[in-house]
Structure formats: structure tokens, C-alpha cells
């Protein structure tokens, strides 16, 4: 085994860059502090021109963390979920439903009379 083969053993090609950061200009960055409800505090590095979110997922426990200098975002008002009854009432009136019920009950009663 040659020395070159021993040097590459244990590394995956493309997995690690062997270049260094000398003589390169990094993009401007900002660090934002977050604190979760369980008290974990951590810092996230973002691009300087990036819009900073008010919440971030905690790295330790997965809970929602709030920006240290921020306030909770306002909850969005959502529509209440539509039930089957709501959707039915969009298509039919109560009178229509009573008529359909009466027809079905008559069919059921007629079937019982035949079997009895």
C-alpha cells in the first residue's frame, strides 16, 4: 500500500473540502439570539440582508423559540372548519332534506311490509 492510498483511506470523496478560508471574503452576516420556552438559548447566523424570523425551532428540544428582542407574532384568524352538515346545508334546504327523508322512510316501510 502506498502512502497516497493510506492518506485517503477513511475519507469520502467530495464529503470534506480541504480548501482553507484564507484570502476569501465572506458574505456579511448577522447573529440572532433565540430563547425557547424551556430556557434554552442559542444563536443563529444569518445573511445580513436576510429577513429575520421571529420564531425558530430550538436546537436542543425542538420547541418553538422566540427571538430575544422580539414579541410573539399575532395569531392569524382562520376560518372555522366546515362540517359535513355545513356542506350539506350549502346544497340543500331543510325542506328538501325532510322530503328526501320521507321518501326513504316510505321505501323502508314498503320493504318491511313485503317481508312480513
Would you say 58 is a known binding-site residue? yes
Is 40 assigned to a binding site?
yes
Q: Is 107 marked within a binding site?
A: no
Q: Is residue 79 marked as binding?
A: no
DSSP string, 28-74: PEEEEEEEETTS-EEEEEEETTSPPPSEEE-TTT-PEEEETT--PPP
Known binding-site residues equal: 36, 40, 58, 61
Binding positions for Zn(2+): 36, 40, 58, 61
Amino acid at each position: 500500500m502506498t502512502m497516497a492510498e493510506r492518506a485517503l483511506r477513511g475519507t469520502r470523496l467530495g464529503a470534506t473540502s480541504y480548501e482553507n478560508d484564507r484570502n476569501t471574503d465572506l458574505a456579511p452576516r448577522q447573529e440572532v439570539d433565540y430563547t425557547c420556552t424551556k430556557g434554552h438559548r442559542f444563536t443563529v447566523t444569518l445573511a445580513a440582508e436576510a429577513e429575520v424570523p421571529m420564531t425558530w425551532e430550538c436546537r436542543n428540544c425542538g420547541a418553538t423559540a422566540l427571538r430575544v428582542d422580539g414579541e410573539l407574532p399575532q395569531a392569524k384568524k382562520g376560518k372555522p372548519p366546515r362540517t359535513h352538515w355545513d356542506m350539506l346545508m350549502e346544497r340543500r334546504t331543510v325542506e328538501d332534506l325532510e322530503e328526501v327523508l320521507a321518501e326513504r322512510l316510505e321505501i323502508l316501510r314498503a320493504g318491511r311490509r313485503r317481508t312480513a
